[in-house]
Structures are given as structure tokens and as C-alpha cells.
Structure 1
Amino acid sequence: MAIYNIYAEIKTNTAPENLYYDMELYKTDWNGNKTYALRPTGQHALQAGNKTKFHQSLDIPDPQETCYILSITIYRKVGADFIKMTQDPMTAITPLKGFLIKDKEWGPSREFEYYETTQQTKKSQQGQINTFQLNISSKPRVFEAEEHPIGDTLDPFTKQRVEDELKVRMTRPALSHNQLQVIPYSDIRKRLLPCPNQNRSMFCGPSAFFYCIQQDRPDIYQQLIKELWETGETKIGSLKIEADNSVRYPKEMFDENGWLKISAIDWMTMASLRDTENTGLFSINSPSPGFLWWNWAGAVTMWGVLEKWFKEAGATKVYDNISIAHSNLQDICTLNNYATPNNHVVSLIRAGMLSRGANALTKDHWIVWEDKLKLLNGTPVTTSTPLSERVQLKLFSWGEVFEQLDTTLTLGEFLKHTFGGLVFTKMP
């Protein structure tokens, strides 16, 4: 248990004596229930240096790497009145560790900013209603598709479309796999699935990472999408995600039939995350890498990079048996022992062992185990299981969670298609 001094700085061109704030720090579960680290403070005057007061948190049991949502509402003092200046509070992802150390790596995911025009703010009479007129600065939109830019009716990055996609993601899930099975697979790829979906891109590594974020911390998943759409940048723990110009202005987002190759929110999250690791030649500008090797290299996720993402987001690596050679039976049985509700088992495979995966000569796909590897009768695989036995595994891949192994796959074939895994704790 620990108590923290919660504070923030507001970047503003307004004299601090004219600004007041109300602040809270919380996390939210799938049902919308808030767990507070700092309950709403009520209105307080902004201090010199545009900083809030220090507010003592509740006694918190979470690890220091745990991220919360810091929410601030700004009020403008005009005469004797206090006017709420934004329709919605300003919010940012903030790890608890950021309140203990001065390292900016662990600071909030973005700065809190409030700017006014230099025009005088004053009360005006309109009929019987008193209103306050004030202009607040705004920024141009960050993401724009080459084929359907801003103003186009098919623009995929409009605020409304991004919000609609996010609503589907927050239903957990909107459709079960059994419901999806009655829809032809070609049509499923045109629809937004309830989980992160790489669809027709090579972002299986980012997809696995954001799936784990979504399942463990739906509030953080929602917030980071909001921040990416608004600014092109966000941060989870010390993991910074930033979209460069190639990601902000993507090409070839649509196929020959006019369907998106990857949804707007999946492009913003997955391409931004993966491209943050790239420089220059390896920048990503399309969900389809084409035939240029450097485009493929810029989209593929190596296990060292995936491990870095999980650790910087606050998770702990529990076990690792990733290998350049395929797994043996003991390797898989060890991963089976870690396949519990408290862990994420992220495995590197050849996608050809999946019911809808294409055969490849080498390892080419990341999946997340959602259960133990079992025989068809439901018995978990052990070191004494014959390699000729057929197996099943409930797993996450391509936006869905169900038993996705080819129905004829044997344990021996599973071993040849699997190259170990990384085991992480849940995101705090």
C-alpha cells in the first residue's frame, strides 16, 4: 500500500489567478466502474507556475507501474462567476511512478493545455440568457488517408467513425465466434471485429500487444486511441507511441473493392506502435508492404521488440522459451503450466497451423493463448501425450478468440509450427 502526492501542470497563456481546476485520478473496468486513486478534489485555484496543489491520494495497493487516468476540468474566473471552459475534462494516461520520480519517461501521456485568444472574455446578454464568449485554440486533424482525404464521404478517420469503431471494441465482444461463423469469412474481413485486428496487414505483433491491453485495461485502450486521434502521440507507462508523417498520411488503405484493409483505430494504434521502432528507410506508409524487403522489415515484430513493449507498459516477463528452432514437447508443456488467467502467453508460430492461416517456410505470426493446449477431449497436453494425438487451442488471432487450430492438427505438427513463447503478467 502506498500514498502519492497527485499534481499536474497546466500549460496556458492565462494568468493562473483566473483559472480554477477540479482533478481526479481513477481507473475504469469493463462495466464502467471507477476505482479512485484520487477522488474529485472540488474546485481549487491554480497555483503560481500554473501548477495544481499537491493532493494526497488514497492508500493504493497497485504496483508503481500501474497506469491511471488523470482527469482535469478547467474553470475560468470571470468576476464572481466560475465558467467551465471545456465540454469534457482533459485526460491523460498517468503511471503512479510518475508522481514519485522526475523522469519524464514516467510522466503523463500528454501535456495538459488550455489556451485563450487575446480577446477579452466578457459576459454578453442574449435574450434572457447570460453567456460567455471565448475562443479556444484547436489543432488540425492528424490522420488522413490518401484515397479518401478530409471532406471525402469515405474518409475513414472522421471523429464519428473512430468513435463508432471504438464503441464496438468496448462491447466485449459485440459478436461471438459462433455468430460470426454464419458470415462468410470474406465478409467478416469487411466488418469491425470486437478485438484488435491486423486484418490484411503484417501487424500481428502489435495486434497481440493491443489485445492484451484491451483485455486488461479497457480504459487505457480507449484513452490511447483518443490521444492518437487527437495528437498522433500517446504513452503507456514509459512506452511512447508516436505516428510519423508516413503513418499519419497512409496510402493504399483500401482494396480494389473499396474496403478498408485495416480499420482506422487499428491503423492508428498498430502502425504507430510498430513505426515508433523504425527510422528512415523502414517507415510504414501502407497496410500492404508490397514486395520491397524494407517495407516487410518495418512491419514485422521481433520478440525483443514485443518484450520491450510489454515491459515498458508495466507488465513483467515471467518466462521465455522463444527459439529460432521449433518447440519440443517439454517447451509446450512448460507454456501450458503458465497458461492461467493471471498471465499472457504470447507465442510465435507458423500461421499454417491455423484453420485460416497460409503456409510459410518459417515463423511468421504472433498469437495469444487463451487456454491450455488440449486434446480434443479437453485433457491438457502433458509430456506423456503421444505426438499423433490431435490437439486444440483457444487463442487470439486476427481479431477473434476461439479454437483456431486446423481441425486435423496433431501434437507433433503443432510442435513443428511453434517456436516457443513469452509469458507476461497482466497489465497492471
Structure 2
Amino acid sequence: MSGKDLPKQMGTSYCGPAAFLYCVLEDRPDLYCAYAISMWLHGEYDFRSGAQIVEIDSNANTRKALPTARAAQPNRSFISDLDWMTMAPLSASTRPGWTKILGSPEPDDQVGSISYPGVVKGWFSAVGAQLRADTMGVGLMKTSPTATIGLMRHWANSWIVLQIDSSLIQAGATNTFANRHWVVVNPHRRPLIRAGQNGQVVPLADAYRAVGPDTASDMDDWDTSLYTVSWGSENKGLKNPTLGHLKGRIYGGFAFSHF
């Protein structure tokens, strides 16, 4: 609320809410503050834009879950109270079916806190964002670097929200089913690529325009700068900063208009 920190899910699985709320905080800090205050004081809030409505409610069990977890594990670092009260109810309220099966949110939830692509699109629509591009589909399989580069053409005037394999930005092998992670492409640092070892640095969106007939096969080694917003930081770079590192590590993404 003081502007010193970004939404940070810590050890929870609320990467989807964290990504969405980062965009809200950047574009509409007034809306973020209204949402946070209402959730803190009243436990309910509605995002409304046109026909899209996201109704968010927090029950007593949700409010007690974090203090209870802290008391049980006093030496563990948990999500902040503010982030818990803005992320957990947002996640639970937009998947009521899981809540009925699994109960109220808990800091260690895994399956029940997954943010499905359609849910993420609904959140952005409810704050007035327009969908400009979608390489995600239903999100079953990973997408190609070509599709991701195509999304970057919207970077200058859109939010680029990606679902990645976490090995894109940290150590570990790729995994088709686990380690899915929502991130936002840093809106303040344009994604760039160097065309060849000593070539020109160009926007990542223009990567294939910089390819000559004899260099296309060597693009995997091209230095690539792609910074994402994740875990409370705006500067999570690629673990291996090359174009080839994108292969098999991105499920897809969206380009949403600013709002």
C-alpha cells in the first residue's frame, strides 16, 4: 500500500493472482487500493467492467488460515497479510467448484490454487482490459518461440502475461505438468535480442526480421534479454539468456490492453 513492494506470493501457488494484481497496481493504483481496503475491512469486492464481473468474497476461515499457519510454523517465512487477503480470495472466488471440494484457501494449497487460462482472462476483462493476442489456448501443451516472439509485438502498449515452466527463470528441468508459473513481461524493459555474436541488438519482436539466409539455424545461441515480473521482482531474467532457452519452457500467453 505504501508503494515500496510488489505483490509477492512467497511459498503459495498464487502466481496468477500476483501477476494480475501487479498489472492492476501499475495501471490503476486507485483500483488496487480500493480492492485491498475493501478486502481487509469487509472481506468482499467486485471487479466490474461491462458484462464481465468478478465477485470476490473472503470467509472467516480464509482470514484465520494465515495466522494459524504462522503459529504452527513460527520459523517459516509466509506470504504477507496484505498479499494473502488480496490473492487467496481472488483465487478461491473464481473457482468455486474447487472451494466446495477442498474447502477454504490454505497457504500450502497446490491444486486448489491453480489459475487456469480462462480465469486469468476473466480477471483482466473485469478491469476493462481488451484481449489483443492469445497464444495460450487451453494451455495443455507448450508453444513455440515463434508464437512468443509474436506476442512481443504488443509489448509497447500491452501487458504481456506468460505461463512458463519455472525453469525459464530458475534452475531445473522442464516439466509439462508441474512447475507452471504465471509471469508478466517487465513493462519497463523492452525484450531484446542480439542478431548473431557481434550483430545488432534489436527488439525481440523483430528477431526473425534480422535473420539472414545463412544464420537461421544459429538463432538458438543469440543473446536474448527478457525480464519478467515474478516473486515480487520486476527483473527476473532468463536462466540461460539465449533464444534457444525459450524452447519447451513457455506454455503460451496473452497480450492485454492497458486499462
TM-score, normalized by length of structure 2? 0.81
Distance 1:243 1:261 in 2: 19
Aligned partner of 1:415 in structure 2 is 247
Aligned partner of 2:257 in structure 1 is 425
Q: CA shift at 1:402, angstroms? A: 1.1
Equivalent position amino acid for 2:91 in 1? R
Match 2:118 to one of 296, 304, 310: 304
Higher relative contact order (CA 8 A, sep 6+): 2
Structure 2 unaligned segments of length 5 or more: list them.
195-199
Distance 2:183 2:227 in 1: 10
Equivalent position amino acid for 1:396 in 2? V
Q: Deviations over 1:37-63 (max 9, x none)?
A: xxxxxxxxxxxxxxxxxxxxxxxxxxx
Q: CA shift at 1:306, angstroms? A: 0.5
Q: CA shift at 1:318, angstroms? A: 1.0
Q: Deviations over 1:370-402 (max 9, x none)?
A: 244322674323123612223221211011101
Gap change, CA 1:286 and 1:358, over 3 Å in 2? farther
Is the CA contact 1:349–1:364 (under 8 Å) kept in the aligned structure 2?
yes
Q: Deviations over 1:228-273 (max 9, x none)?
A: 1111001222221111333122042468453441000100000010
More helix by share: 2
Aligned partner of 1:396 in structure 2 is 229
Q: CA shift at 1:280, angstroms? A: 1.2
Aligned partner of 1:268 in structure 2 is 85
Aligned partner of 2:64 in structure 1 is 249
Bigger Rg over Cα? 1
Distance 1:214 1:297 in 2: 26
SS at match of 1:366: strand
Is the CA contact 2:89–2:105 (under 8 Å) kept in the aligned structure 1?
no
| 2:75 paired with 1:258 | yes
Aligned partner of 1:351 in structure 2 is 166
SS at match of 1:331: helix
Q: Deviations over 1:262-294 (max 9, x none)?
A: 0001000000100102331233432112xxxxx
Question: Where does 1:23-422 land on structure 2 (aligned, <5 Å)?
Answer: 166-167=1-2, 170=3, 174=4, 194-237=5-48, 238-250=53-65, 251-253=68-70, 256-276=73-93, 277-278=95-96, 279-289=99-109, 296-322=110-136, 323-340=139-156, 342-355=157-170, 359-362=173-176, 364-370=180-186, 371-375=189-193, 378-381=201-204, 382-383=207-208, 384=211, 386-406=219-239, 408-422=240-254
Equivalent position amino acid for 2:61 in 1? S
Q: CA shift at 1:215, angstroms? A: 0.3
SS at match of 2:10: coil
Aligned partner of 2:197 in structure 1 is none
Distance 2:41 2:228 in 1: 33
Distance 1:360 1:256 in 2: 31
Q: Aligned pair count? A: 229
Distance 1:254 1:352 in 2: 32
SS at match of 1:207: helix
Distance 2:10 2:145 in 1: 31
Instruction: Give the fraction of aligned pairs with identical amino acids, expressed as a percent.
Output: 25
Is the CA contact 2:129–2:257 (under 8 Å) kept in the aligned structure 1?
yes
Gap change, CA 1:255 and 1:321, over 3 Å in 2? farther
Aligned partner of 1:48 in structure 2 is none
Distance 1:253 1:423 in 2: 37
Is the CA contact 2:161–2:185 (under 8 Å) kept in the aligned structure 1?
yes
Structure 1 unaligned segments of length 5 or more: list them.
1-165, 175-193, 290-295
Q: Deviations over 1:383-422 (max 9, x none)?
A: 236122232212110111014211x343122121012211
Choose 344-353 or 276-285, whichever is displaced more. Answer: 276-285
Choose 345-354 or 318-327, whichever is displaced more. Answer: 318-327
Distance 1:397 1:206 in 2: 11
Q: Deviations over 1:7-40 (max 9, x none)?
A: xxxxxxxxxxxxxxxxxxxxxxxxxxxxxxxxxx
Equivalent position amino acid for 1:380 in 2? P
Gap change, CA 1:325 and 1:284, over 3 Å in 2? same
Q: CA shift at 1:426, angstroms? A: 1.1
SS at match of 1:387: helix
Task: Please give the root-mean-square deviation of Cα atoms over the aligned residues, in Å.
Answer: 2.1
Distance 1:307 1:227 in 2: 23
Is the CA contact 2:135–2:148 (under 8 Å) kept in the aligned structure 1?
no
